[in-house]
A and B are shown apart, each in its own frame.
Chain A
């Protein structure tokens, strides 16, 4: 579904990614952890080309994103993104946030898009907020709307970039619940998070990124049971003692 080969990304002189290889199969949930600044967001942002890779190949749903012939807007609808800061459109109602993509990108008629939008809001438990503006919602509700907005394009995969990091602790659960539901339904997901509980419970694979490379790539049991990598041990120690 998503294949990354030998991905390099630099910002000026700063080499952030130094040869990342990652193959995510359809239906897999891959959790990425790693220290702040290690390039986790950059990996996700290269997948939908919000950042242009310096070199390497990325194939999403069979499309080579580096190929100038590829319609990148189309690829983005197949691997949508959920951001740490939600990035809801503040001038639109919740429902309009959700149906903008279907209407403008997919060409869905407004009534059909509204039906789909309400269905998705219902799924994330926010059907009653359809007519509200984002500023009237809590952080957890905002993020659930953002998830509905990504789902509205009926993507093949969703990229989550620390979806719960901006939330008050008591609001984290409601967002993780929605994500777990998606995982159970077979959605392909790449999730950057510090929520180790989520990783253990939901992930098919957990990946540790550090110093621009994937250091560990294993199923959660192996990953957490025997962290051989000293930097990973150190990192897990910090995250666990932190939470």
Chain B
């Protein structure tokens, strides 16, 4: 029997897929929220004068960036419970994975942005008596943050796509939802196509929002 494209399947599966997309968004936003905190801390540690502090951040960043997220997810969700005897809810594990993973990349974004600010800026801050922390807070960070926005937006898109890997630990995100629909109706072509289009709609919206934000930042002065 020849394949027949059935667009109606796409429409029918959409409500369920949108439920999955909602979980995808929660994972991404939650993961990036904590990922940014982690990344900011690790990025600043990377700039520390203390060798051990730098080293510690380096180990975190390298080990996360050097291993597949899929392995990290399976280790956290299946491996750790075996060793410790506690089970983490899949959704929590998912947010942890996205946080820890994006944090390692965000650390490099933060480090790069802070380093790109002319040292004269922090010297000027120190020369009017601001403490190191105040200089960071009022002088360096606001400028560095603007430079972080494009790469952070990029990380947002990457992390959003990465959430699809979490289907392996049973998080009911978009791809997993699609998978479950296919298990019932066997329409893999239409369902996975729709999944892809929903991902695309989300990533394009982020890219668009980012462009607008950058423009606004530009108008506000450098």
Q: Which residues of A approach B to under 8 Å, CB–CB? A: 48, 50, 73-74, 76-77, 80-81, 83, 85, 87-91, 100-101, 104-105, 133, 135, 146, 149-150, 152-153
Contacts and interface: CB of A to CB of B under 8 A. Distances in A.
Contacts of B126: 48, 50, 73, 76
A83 B128 contact: no
Contacts of A87: 118, 120-121, 123-124
A95 to B, nearest CB: 14
Contact of A153 (B128, B131, B221): B128
Interface in B100-138: 118, 120-121, 123-131, 134, 138
Contact of A90 (B128, B130, B143): B143
B129 A73 contact: yes
Interface centre among A74, A91, A100, A101 (most CB of B within 10 A): A91
B129 A83 contact: no
Contacts, number: 71
A48 B146 contact: no
Contacts of A104: 130, 134, 138
A50 B120 CA distance: 11
B89 interface: no
A77 B129 CA distance: 5
A89 B125 CA distance: 9
B222 A74 contact: no
B-side interface size class: 20 to 34
A89 B129 contact: no
A157 to B, nearest CB: 12
> Chain B at the A interface: mostly helix, strand, loop or mixed?
helix
Contacts of A74: 129
Interface in B122-162: 123-131, 134, 138-139, 142-143, 146
A130 to B, nearest CB: 15
Given A83-B120, A91-B142, A135 B128 contact: no
A104 B138 CA distance: 9
B53 to A, nearest CB: 20
B222 A91 contact: yes
B175 to A, nearest CB: 41
B127 A76 contact: yes
B127 A48 contact: yes
Contacts of A83: 120, 123-124, 127
Nearest to A45: B123
A81 B134 contact: no
Nearest to B142: A91
A73 B146 contact: no
Contact of A150 (B118, B128, B146): B128
B221 A133 contact: yes
Contact of A85 (B120, B125, B127, B142): B120
Given A90-B221, A104-B138, A80 B128 contact: yes
